Amino acid sequence: MNVRANQSQPPSETRPTVATAPGKAILFGEHAVVYGRPAIAVPVTDVQARATITTGERGTGVRLVAADLPAPDGRPGGRRYRLRDAPADDPLRAIVELALAAFAPGGPTGAGVGGLDSEPDLQVTVTSTIPIARGLGSGAAVATAVARAIARYFGQLPRSDEISRLVYEVEKLHHGTPSGIDNTVIAYEQPVYFVRGEGMKRLSVGAPLSLVIADTGVVSSTREVVGDLRHRWQAQPERYEGLFDEIGAIARLARSAIERGDPRAVGRLMDENHELLMTIGVSSPELDRLVKVARAGGALGAKMSGAGWGGNMLALVESHRAQIVADALCQAGAASTIFSQIS
């Protein structure tokens, strides 16, 4: 962690400090990326997480307000709580503490919240239009927005790799053994070709890609899906390593197709990737149905995206057919659709 506390400027006492971060979609390579194969991910700027930092009353410490997160008792209205009262494994608490340690004056010293001598008086307000537990990177986006806002509040302009490293620590709370792709693509806000342990490479998009993203409405836990697949990989390592190799090979071919601007080849590879994700057991009947509907509606290709067992699927379309495909997906039971263009 690169700490630059001595360079911090006094925070603004009057104006709120705001930062945002986009969602993300994995085009190729989900799950196999955890086992060292390449993956391709893109930012989805049509949905956003937003963090606002304001100065609180003296002596109140850090207060967290998350209107879009469900309350612990399940009632609507979101969450309002003091940082010091949150559980140690609360992701919002974790990113606030990490960001304060990295960017606030006086940290880290080993004392107080985030390693600070005393807890600053702040209110951290989080809102998000990114569906939770649907494979669009909601947790990483919220953490990115919070880290950026805290840095700006204290007069810092952190690099994307600094933010990504902080958010990766929070991703461990969400997912157990994250690949690192969510925090990378969201922190850099650009299409990336990613290999775990090797970092990211900027992906050039030869021709715009038009995506219809459809939500099954089914909530799934990335931690549970990843854990289940790991158990099956441990029981049959040769079989799953072979399948991961096939997924990795598709991601490499897709990189070339994207860079040369060949959307039809990209669509065919999406279809192949989905078949392999079905084989490794991470798809679901709801995802498979929407994939078939998208293809029947004229999509160039379609696949699930993210952890699976629910969440979202992607359809690559010609832009003039986007609404046709989106309408067909909604008629087939999709809870919602998002149109996003990647360039």
Give catalytic residue positions.
Answer: 182
Element (H, E) at 53: strand 39-55
- What span, in angstroms and rounded, lies between the C-alpha atoms of 254 and 192? 12
CA distances in angstroms from 113 to 24, 60, 128, 220, listed in the order given? 30, 13, 25, 32
Mention every residue, 6+ apart, whose C-beta is less than 8 A from residue 311: 133, 134, 135, 136, 215, 216, 218, 219, 220, 287, 304, 305
Residue 160: Cβ-neighbour burial (10 angstroms; 0-12, 13-18, 19+): middle
Q: On the CB side of 24, how many CA atoms lie within 13 Å of its CA? A: 30
How many residues are present in the chain?
343
Residue 157: Cβ-neighbour burial (10 angstroms; 0-12, 13-18, 19+): exposed
- Is residue 21 within 8 A of residue 141, CB to CB? The reply is yes
Query: For residue 285, is the peptide bond before it cis, meaning its omega torsion is within 30 degrees of 0?
Result: no
CA distances in angstroms from 37 to 179, 198, 262, listed in the order given? 10, 10, 22
Beta strands 39-55; 192-195: pairing state: antiparallel
With H, G, I as helix, E, B as strand and everything else as coil, classify residue 223: helix
Strand partners, 126: 51, 66
